[in-house]
Chain A
Amino acid sequence: MTEDDPLEPTGVDAGPDETTEADRYLQVEEVPETAPTDDRTWRTRLAESVPSSRRTLKYAVAITVAVLWIVPFIGLFMASFRPLSEIIGGWWHLEGMSITFENYYQAWNYSTAPLSRALLNTFIVTIPAVLVVMLLGVMAAYPFARFEFPLKTTLFFLILLVMAAPPELVAMGNYNSLQRIGLFDTYMGLILIHIGWGLGWVVLFLRNYLLGIPEELEEAARIDGASRYQIFRTIILPLSTPALVSVAVIQFTWVWNAFFFPLVFMRSPELYLAPQVLPLMRGRVQVEWGMIAAGSIMTMAVPVILFLLLERYYKRGMVAAVAD
């Protein structure tokens, strides 16, 4: 074979296959007399099959780094099960360790705002905020991906602008409008704000995903006489399920973890959300580390477990949301 000529078309470009049966097999005279010599000596072979010390070192470093990375969380976890005196002495001292659920009991029934109630409130706000954003988001994303309509570009710019804006920027306007319509300090008010805030990235994310779905499927359905709504329901919705799961996981985590919006819009202690309650648990004199740790573990358990269960969707969605 001659050298690769970059200008010579290869593969599909090379036109109809011109090789004949004879070309595909070695001719008898081309068969070499001796077996090909091994390009690797037994020494290099052996070295390559046994993990090198270099590679072992790499594993050791990687595992050490990863473990060190979660040491603060291990500390938090340990502290949540130990009495305050032992925490102050250092959670890393394992001798004489006593395990207690007192911290969880205290946090669950915390006098200012019991975490039992706060966690329930967080669910009450998060679940509708996620479901409605998913539905409205995919509905709005569909025209953005498929149709031309006036003001499309303007709307696109507005979405980008809102995605860049800090949540603090919408707090003042929303505070006044919620006061005016009487939804301030209610579940509904906070849910609406989370929906309005989340729609921007969800529409953009789902639009990018829908652009990747081939249009031929819809064409075929349209020829069969399906309406736009039928196409949306029977083709677009099922095909966008993976993207919708990503949206659900990420939006759930963000709404659950949100601290600023509840801080501004939820003022009655019985409506406090879990992230709002945690900083209140700092005592005046001695910081109640045990209770804070137990409360933190309970609050972070939900998004972390969700992440571990749907890790693939979470990571893929995260990457697609920012990198696509």
Chain B
Amino acid sequence: MFSPLIDELMHALKVLPGVGPKSAQRMALQLLEHNREGALRLADSLQRAVEGVARCGRCRTLTEQPLCGVCASERRDNSLLCVVETPADVLAIEQAGSYQGKYFVLLGHLSPIDGVGPEDIGIDQLLALLEAEPVAEIILATNPTVEGEATAYYISERAKKAGINVTRIAHGVPLGGELEYIDGGTLAHAFSSRRSL
């Protein structure tokens, strides 16, 4: 229905998450009809980001510098290391704003059925980092799923062997939530890891 170039653009837009044929068409027409300047800016920044952004050499999050902002910062606490699954988790914790240590991003979790073993989530790099830096505590912030728990346990065993204190973030009732609507597994966990006041 559309000319080849427009078709190609719509097809290309469909790589974005949540964008199907209808949204792709709307986006393509919006850019071509009403916002050509914006379209050029988008094309240019896409190009530069894809060419420039790689992994941080220390924590493996996304950055275009050799070391990401957090790793390069002098003000962050070098003795705390928070281990997360994805760069999005780093952003979530940074937005919460209360953590002052550094990070390590696994880029996944242990999942034998998917063929993801310890060497695929950078365990060797993590252990090398623990040896090279004065880390006193590892905070395991992998997801509270079965795979996330398996990953946390695996790392804790390896880190304990290296003589490092290991902690796991707490799981339980969300702030402002109501007990009535919380699933049984979460409640059971909240009770088993209760603390005295």
Do A and B come together as binding partners?
no
